[in-house]
Structure 1
Amino acid sequence: MSLKTKLKARKAEYLDLVFCLDRPLMKELEKARRDHETDAAGRLAAPKNTTVKDLEKAVAEASVTIRVASLPWEAYNALMLEHPAREGHDEQFDASTFYAAAAKATAEEVTAKSTVPIPEEDWDEFMSGLTDGEYDRLAGAVVAVNRNTATVNIAPLA
């Protein structure tokens, strides 16, 4: 198969991140799981109880899956230049804005049937409501899909 044919089939790497938009509900599920892990005698509880199952369903309904995909290196590096390092910070780019911009460039919502673009106003509202830890997860996904070296040093497979 020629390079031209293979280039037409090129696929971006991606990561799907699940965010529960009802944090107290997620906390309630975590507690229910901990409480359910052992029975009164201290043994591990086997099947999930109804409370855990119901809370898992509620958390799933209150959650959104965001797909972050890799960018061509030119686009990734152009974004770095658009977010220069802050004065007085030892950094190559402004990490407080770069990761959000890189994620936004490829982000899609994953639904049960397909992926759909995220409207600008929804993205802005999603980003403004993230916790620091959630932002770290998003930034980590950007790094994972764009800086992954697993595909760089491919040895001959034949």
Structure 2
Amino acid sequence: MKNNRKQVQFLLRSITDDVPQLLLEENNLVFRNELKEDILIPFSSITSIKILPINRIYNPSVGFLKDGMKGLLAHRNAGIFSIYFNYFVDLNVDTTTNTYLFESLDLENASRFILKLNENIKIVDDVNLIDLFKNKSTNELKEYMDKHYKDWAKKYNLENPRTTLDESMVRLAHNKH
């Protein structure tokens, strides 16, 4: 688990999907993997938690190829074949024995999860995401991040973008930003 970032759904309640989940329980974070195996991270063992925004290149044609028309229409630039950025949250959890690195699978669930987690444990939030989560809708937040992520990336040394796409897609995205 050390230095191996996991993409997970940040949730306040477990869901039946086979997607990896990070759950918030009364005194624990629980990482539930694809096999439904749970790793408990007791609050008492946590020495720090840090959040940072990240972005990934998204091309709607990828959604179309993966999920058909449903995938094509399931984002804010529905039907437009262009490159844009999806935003997520990295959650870095340091404990007395390990470091756990998570990336959210969406912004909406992540914002609710982070706000609730921050009630229990003080989160290191250099970019002030928590204030944005409190004061902006998900769409407003995405628009705000569209405007500010490039500056954050420089200031906080963030990946811009984090991606697995080929270099030509990365170059095109950098030119768009």
More strand by share: 2
More helix by share: 1
Same fold (TM over 0.5): no
* TM-score (ref. length: structure 1): 0.28
* TM-score (ref. length: structure 2): 0.26
